[in-house]
A and B are shown apart, each in its own frame.
Chain A
Amino acid sequence: MDLAYEQIRNEVKQASIRARGESIPRRRSKSPTKPSAAWTAPSRIGSTKGTALSIVLSSIGCAHARGDEGGCTMCSYLLDGVNRNPTAEEFFLQFQTAMSQLEKLDSPLSVKIYTSGSFLDSDEIPQETRNRILRAISVDDRIKEVVLESRPEYVTDTVLADVRRILGDRVVELGIGLESSSDFVRSICINKNFNLDSFRESLLVGKKHNIGTRAYVLLKPPFMTERSALLDAQKTVTDAVSLGVTTISLNPVNVQRNTLVESLWEKGKYRPPWLWSVVEVLRHASFTGASTVNIVCDPVAAGKSRGTHNCGKCDSSFIDAIRTFSLNQDVRVFDSLKCDCWDLWKHVLEHEDASLQVHN
């Protein structure tokens, strides 16, 4: 990256650090034996419908966000974590607490393990703990699919060999926040600090162990117009499909506490993406990755001012359609979506893009 971009990136990093402020040392103290969150939802598992359990383990949080790099411009998930890293025993208790939600459910089940950081980072989740959790999953025959979230730098041959060995022949996916296939967008607008090559490497290591990759694609990081963001997400989907990802999970930005995005949003300098744009990206994804890649989207804070939203009148029908699509992969569900605010969205795409005046 040339010097000018490096300076711009540094400015974003400094602004991210400022936005984070003292929020991390001042996180509310939480029980180290309870997960940050755990919920079940109907989900597409392979080609059938089942239930997915999402577990967010409470850890000290993402190393990138904890460190002096400022973390990602839109993310403060680590604020849900704890200030002292839980012990092996405590982590396992968190996991068990979450797993109890699966007690009476039938196969097929899917378990997704998030940490607001990287499950495969041994500094965050010690190796023994990780393997103990995986072993607990491996003895449950109902669980057909496992998703493990990590930044690419922790995806190594040894770790994946462990994972594959323990989980046997289950479907396993690595959830990696690719966010954008553009290194410019990922490093400058998001401050994510890894490049496309490391994503590609992780994906290849995964393939070697028959582990798929679930690419999280971010819609509308800061410092982009609605249209640039839309085009970038579409291109990212195309690139991710051709790299060979197994699932694309589209994440429209939501405004999280103590982030650079929040400080821009408060000044009227940022608006979360329109639901129209979300649908547009999903249509494109379906067209591009049809039948080879699973496409899902579970927008956070959708319909609210901090999340992806339209005019307010049509938001719930859009959110329903997006949920339905994520389950059945059928884009026709979007055909019935209509609202007067379409004209306004079209105007924003055009006008904001040329004038660079933020439309919020």
Chain B
Amino acid sequence: MSLTEFRIGRGHDGPARIGEYIMGTEVYNTPILTAPILSDSQVITYGTIGRVKIHSSNPHFLALPFETHIDNPEKLGIRKTDSILLPCLPSFSSLGYTAGALMLNHQMGVLDDLQSSIESNRIIIRIPEEIELNVFSSSLSDFHSRGVRAAALTFDGLLSDLDYNSFLQRRYLPMSWLVLALGRIAPGTVPLLYYMGFDVIDIGHAQEAAAKHQRLWHNGTESIQSGQPHRYCPCSSCQNLDRLESTQVVDALLDHNVNVYASILSEAQNAMVSGRLRWLVESTTHYSPAHASILRRIDREAYSFIEEFTPTTGASNVPLIGPESYNAPAVRRFREYIAHRYRPPAHKKIALLLPCSARKPYSDSKSHRRFLETIETSLGNATSQIAQIILTSPLGLVPRELERMFPAASYDIPVTGDWDSEETNLAADALVSHMSKFDSNTVIVAHVSGGYLSIVQAAENRISQSIIYTSMETSPTSWESREDLQETLGDLKDILAIKGSKPQELEEIVRATADFQFGPGAGDALVPEDARLGGKPYRQILCRVGKEQVCSYVADTGLLSLTLDGARRLAPLNRYWVHLDAPSVKGGSIFAVGVREADATIRPGDEVIVLNNKGEVTAVGRSEMSGREMCELDRGRAVSVRHKLEGD
């Protein structure tokens, strides 16, 4: 019977997760720190088998030296609760792909030797720094099939190629595995490691720095020289720093350094729970150019991995502060969904471009209330013929119908009116792609100035529709501009012979939201011609077809909740499905162990359609993990069920 197990809990912000690592009777909450020092509940102790004295009864991570043969684990001091790091030759895998493959191969051999004496779920493999992807994937699945559930990657703390490579390699590890980051890790890198899905973080550097008489801080180090003034620190270890003997200083600094790691990890975990881990990681980019460049490289190269675990709903306030936010997964995904999933309602005669507002959703802001009044005044009952498009950074643009969608309803940017060229280009590209979906006879009214105007001008050559500018000289909220807008819209109404029609707002919101959430075709499937809608855009909209309710739009989240009937309408699109092994759902949750297969496009927080073993819709609910995890994890809640078929 095995005592060692890694259980992943609920919640995600990027690949970061919380969990429990069970070692015998001890249960360690992850993320957790590991160090070669006596353990308390904050830290798991590690050391080398046969070379460290084990003073504590707590379980350890024990490294097996190369060329050590284990016949009798107990004789070597290995307890049933310890986890074992398999041996590698240091630096060897830097010789190249062959060397890397040989190191995995060697560990496989050691695993075979150990199998009779040590259960494989206590084994941690070491990932070589150089390894060819195919070889890597196939040996990972070999290790997985033999029951290995943990791996360690190495960091040298320079945040250059070795560290970058380890971050990228992490993507290929099965999601059910415990992942360790070993080596030299500065406190400021802890949020990024956690964000990228590392569960155990080596803080041996606390000791190294202490030995060098360095005090670590979240964003750097401070050299402590006796007699020299030093920074104020409230931690108890630092209280008598000036009066300590040299040898005691090292101990005090070690305590301080460990405290710093513990505090940063706790901050990161707290940020994960509140959906602000990405923001915390972005804030570390100011610690050093190396921090900034590694995040940029990771965002570029590992976007799809990070995005896969980034929830589609999130915090009510999402700060997007600098260039490091432009390609944050929730932001880039929003731009891509708008580009690939959004389809404007047919027959819009006018596309009105508006600036964003600090207050979200935009229509709650003073400026947008004025814009809406102006539109109403000039178009009256023909208001539904106008498409409203809000230009903004770094989301690019937000159609009015989707203004309550995450993160459009909650992002917060420093507003200065200055746009850098990257954000101008992002928005201009978004605008070009967006306008290409409109009829070429649609007239664009650009009611924008300043940086927003530059976006339109940067896009102008690539847009086929004609553009009328109504706010070039003055602020769009000024009385003059609004007069100009009102006149222009009034004129266009006459010129384009726009007739009044019944309001389409509710249909448009639900259709656009459906397409955004479930992909192209979903809007038509959920809101056919004969659909009946009722409610308020700022509260809730119910959509019925015949006698059945198919979905409801919830303004708080900007998302649709499906009914079983709605799910049946969407099922033919073959997206967002979770296929069960069972004929029906019991209880309020579906666990990963019961999932046969799941659509890989599912992200945490998505509305999902649950199919039974015959492929029939049996429930709808909200995903608690990504589709990949539903397939790979053996436990944990996959879906919180909203509605299910009763009976059976």
Residues of chain A having any CB pair with chain B under 8 Å? 4, 7-8, 11-12, 15, 182, 184, 188-189, 222-225, 227-228, 231, 264, 267-270, 340-341, 343-344, 346-347, 350-359
User: Which single residue of chain B is at the shortest CB-CB distance from A352?
Assistant: B90
30 residue pairs A–B, Cβ–Cβ below 8 Å? A4-B109, A8-B89, A8-B99, A11-B92, A11-B102, A15-B95, A223-B91, A223-B92, A224-B89, A227-B48, A227-B51, A231-B51, A268-B156, A269-B90, A340-B211, A343-B211, A343-B250, A344-B211, A347-B204, A351-B36, A352-B90, A354-B36, A354-B61, A354-B85, A355-B154, A355-B183, A355-B204, A356-B90, A356-B126, A358-B90
CB A347 to nearest CB in B, in angstroms, measures 5
Residues 90-129 of B contacting A (Cβ, < 8 Å) = 90-92, 94-95, 98-99, 102, 105-106, 109, 126
Please name all residues of chain B whose beta carbon is closer than 8 Å to the beta carbon of A264 when the two chains form the complex: 91, 94
The answer to whether B208 and A356 have CB atoms under 8 Å apart is: no
Number of interface residues of B (CB under 8 A): 42
The answer to whether A353 and B246 have CB atoms under 8 Å apart is: no
The answer to whether A4 and B204 have CB atoms under 8 Å apart is: no
The answer to whether A343 and B210 have CB atoms under 8 Å apart is: yes
The answer to whether B212 and A344 have CB atoms under 8 Å apart is: yes
User: In the docked arrangement, what's the CA distance between A227 and B90, Å?
Assistant: 12
CB A117 to nearest CB in B, in angstroms, measures 26
Does chain A have a CB within 8 A of B519?
Answer: no
CB B466 to nearest CB in A, in angstroms, measures 60
Cβ contact of A344, chosen from B85, B88, B208, cutoff 8 A? B208
Cβ contact of A354, chosen from B47, B67, B106, B155, cutoff 8 A? B47
Does chain A have a CB within 8 A of B172?
Answer: no
> If A340-B246, A356-B154, A358-B91 touch, does A347 touch B211 (CB 8 Å cutoff)?
yes
CB B253 to nearest CB in A, in angstroms, measures 10
User: In the docked arrangement, what's the CA distance between A356 and B93, Å?
Assistant: 11
Q: Which applies to chain B's interface (DSSP): helix, strand, loop or mixed? A: mixed
User: In the docked arrangement, what's the CA distance between A224 and B211, Å?
Assistant: 23
Cβ contact of B102, chosen from A7, A222, A347, A352, cutoff 8 A? A7
The answer to whether A354 and B48 have CB atoms under 8 Å apart is: yes
> If A8-B106, A228-B66 touch, does A356 touch B207 (CB 8 Å cutoff)?
no
The answer to whether B94 and A269 have CB atoms under 8 Å apart is: yes
Please name all residues of chain A whose beta carbon is closer than 8 Å to the beta carbon of B126 when the two chains form the complex: 356
Please name all residues of chain B whose beta carbon is closer than 8 Å to the beta carbon of A227 when the two chains form the complex: 48, 51
User: Which single residue of chain B is at the shortest CB-CB distance from A226?
Assistant: B90
Report the 8 A-B pairs with minimum CB-CB distance, sorted nearest first.
A357-B183, A343-B211, A269-B91, A344-B211, A351-B204, A355-B182, A223-B89, A354-B63
User: In the docked arrangement, what's the CA distance between A11 and B212, Å?
Assistant: 37
User: In the docked arrangement, what's the CA distance between A344 and B154, Å?
Assistant: 20
Residue of B106, B154, B207 with most partner-chain A CB within 10 A: B207
The answer to whether A225 and B36 have CB atoms under 8 Å apart is: no
User: In the docked arrangement, what's the CA distance between A189 and B91, Å?
Assistant: 11
Please name all residues of chain A whose beta carbon is closer than 8 Å to the beta carbon of B48 when the two chains form the complex: 227, 350, 353-354
CB A196 to nearest CB in B, in angstroms, measures 14
Does chain A have a CB within 8 A of B342?
Answer: no
Please name all residues of chain A whose beta carbon is closer than 8 Å to the beta carbon of B207 when the two chains form the complex: 347, 350-351
The answer to whether A350 and B102 have CB atoms under 8 Å apart is: no
User: In the docked arrangement, what's the CA distance between A228 and B67, Å?
Assistant: 11
The answer to whether A351 and B208 have CB atoms under 8 Å apart is: yes
Please name all residues of chain B whose beta carbon is closer than 8 Å to the beta carbon of A346 when the two chains form the complex: 211
User: In the docked arrangement, what's the CA distance between A4 and B210, Å?
Assistant: 40
Does chain A have a CB within 8 A of B493?
Answer: no
Contact code string B74-94 (vs A, CB < 8 Å = 1, else 0): 000000000001001111101
The answer to whether A223 and B90 have CB atoms under 8 Å apart is: yes
User: In the docked arrangement, what's the CA distance between A157 and B210, Å?
Assistant: 58
The answer to whether A228 and B65 have CB atoms under 8 Å apart is: yes
Please name all residues of chain A whose beta carbon is closer than 8 Å to the beta carbon of B250 when the two chains form the complex: 343
Please name all residues of chain A whose beta carbon is closer than 8 Å to the beta carbon of B65 when the two chains form the complex: 228, 353
User: In the docked arrangement, what's the CA distance between A346 and B208, Å?
Assistant: 9
CB B135 to nearest CB in A, in angstroms, measures 14
Please name all residues of chain A whose beta carbon is closer than 8 Å to the beta carbon of B154 when the two chains form the complex: 355-357
Residue of A184, A188, A225, A270 with most partner-chain B CB within 10 A: A225
The answer to whether B208 and A347 have CB atoms under 8 Å apart is: yes
Does chain A have a CB within 8 A of B290?
Answer: no
The answer to whether B94 and A267 have CB atoms under 8 Å apart is: yes
Please name all residues of chain B whose beta carbon is closer than 8 Å to the beta carbon of A225 when the two chains form the complex: 90
CB B225 to nearest CB in A, in angstroms, measures 11
Residue of B61, B211, B246 with most partner-chain A CB within 10 A: B211
Please name all residues of chain B whose beta carbon is closer than 8 Å to the beta carbon of A358 when the two chains form the complex: 90-91, 156
User: In the docked arrangement, what's the CA distance between A12 and B89, Å?
Assistant: 11
Does chain A have a CB within 8 A of B213?
Answer: yes
User: Which single residue of chain B is at the shortest CB-CB distance from A269?
Assistant: B91
CB A78 to nearest CB in B, in angstroms, measures 22
User: In the docked arrangement, what's the CA distance between A12 and B91, Å?
Assistant: 11
CB B563 to nearest CB in A, in angstroms, measures 53
User: In the docked arrangement, what's the CA distance between A350 and B204, Å?
Assistant: 9
User: In the docked arrangement, what's the CA distance between A229 and B607, Å?
Assistant: 57
CB A28 to nearest CB in B, in angstroms, measures 29
User: Which single residue of chain B is at the shortest CB-CB distance from A184?
Assistant: B67
Does chain A have a CB within 8 A of B46?
Answer: yes
> If A4-B109, A8-B106, A357-B183 touch, does A350 touch B47 (CB 8 Å cutoff)?
yes
